[in-house]
Structure 1
Amino acid sequence: MPDNQHITLDRTDEAILQALQTDGRMSTADLARTVSLSASATADRVRRLVDAGVITGYVATVAAPALGYPITAFVRLAYPSGNYKPLHDLLDVTPEVIEAHHVTGNDCFIMKVLARSMSDLERITGRIATLGTITTSVVYSSPLTGRRLSPA
């Protein structure tokens, strides 16, 4: 679905989205009971939401510290070139960068980085700094993560 296209959803579609954002592993039967439809009608609606690009996938949410990444940081990069291939190449070989966004303003990119330690963060940011000026903000805590979306 193109970025500027908006799909019209009814209340049942919205209820399906809310339920699946709360529990993406919910069975079709449980989802059907939640939204007061038959299982086949619910499955059809979910398939339509997938086909329309509203539902883009299902994922497991994992705790980074449990996997050995207790440090989260946001790294802003002022990238002096319009050739983004070196950045894309770096992102391809740096799995600790879990998000990267091209943004407006003084910085060109904002990246979310996970690290094993402060020295590991220094190593990762040192690699990013080879591309331009960086500013790093280490996360103390995250009072809001993964907010569910409702239609605009």
Structure 2
Amino acid sequence: MIDDIDRNIIEALSQDARLSIKELAQRVELSSPSVSERLKRLEERGVIRGFTLDLDSKALGYSLQAIVRIKPLPGKLHIVQKLIEDIPQITECDKVTGDDCFVARLQLRSIEQLDGILDQIADKAETSTAIVKAQPVKRRLPPLGLV
């Protein structure tokens, strides 16, 4: 479990992971050594796994996103999973229950690029594709309140 101070540290870092220890300490109203110790404990406990970079895919030329549900053909699960792992345009993928085994998010420059990627797995899996029009909820933290 995390306490209110840890929660405040996590929330501050979620808004700006580049905060210095000094700035973070000021925001959560603690001393720098206290914040450093709390960060160290949060990392050791696996609460904080790392600090990430958030890129704008459109600024990098990826104007299209797609969600692809992937259902491997019988006996092809491990082959399809390896293919998914090796396709750099697949920026996220979940292994799920239900009719499909995988739900993948792709960052793409064009529909033609999507076709080329889907062709790589077409003989090993069934796919169902949806083009992303908007993302009303960006990736965010789960609720940090007490359960």
Question: So what's the TM-score if we normalise by structure 1?
Answer: 0.89
The alignment status of 1:63 with 2:53, answered yes or no, reads: no
Measured against aligned partners, the alpha-carbon deviations of 1:33-91 in whole angstroms (never above 9, x if no partner) come to 11111000000001100010010111110011111111100000112335533123313
Distance (whole Å) between structure 1 residues aligned to residue 131 and residue 61 of structure 2 = 16
| Structure 1 gap ranges (5+) | 1-7
Q: Which runs of 4+ in 1 moved over 4 A?
A: none
Distance (whole Å) between structure 1 residues aligned to residue 127 and residue 138 of structure 2 = 24
1:80 alignment partner in structure 2: 73
> 8 Å contact 2:76–2:125 — kept in the other structure?
no
State the Cα distance separating 1:129 from its structure 2 match.
2.3
CA RMSD of aligned residues (A): 1.4
CA change 1:88–1:133 in 2 (3 A) is closer
1:47 alignment partner in structure 2: 40
Give the one of 9, 12, 25 matched to 2:2.
9
Question: So what's the TM-score if we normalise by structure 2?
Answer: 0.92
Give the one of 3, 17, 25 matched to 1:24.
17
The alignment status of 1:133 with 2:129, answered yes or no, reads: no
Distance (whole Å) between structure 1 residues aligned to residue 93 and residue 136 of structure 2 = 21
> 8 Å contact 1:18–1:150 — kept in the other structure?
no
2:84 alignment partner in structure 1: 91
| Structure 2 gap ranges (5+) | none
Distance (whole Å) between structure 1 residues aligned to residue 92 and residue 121 of structure 2 = 13
Distance (whole Å) between structure 1 residues aligned to residue 134 and residue 48 of structure 2 = 29
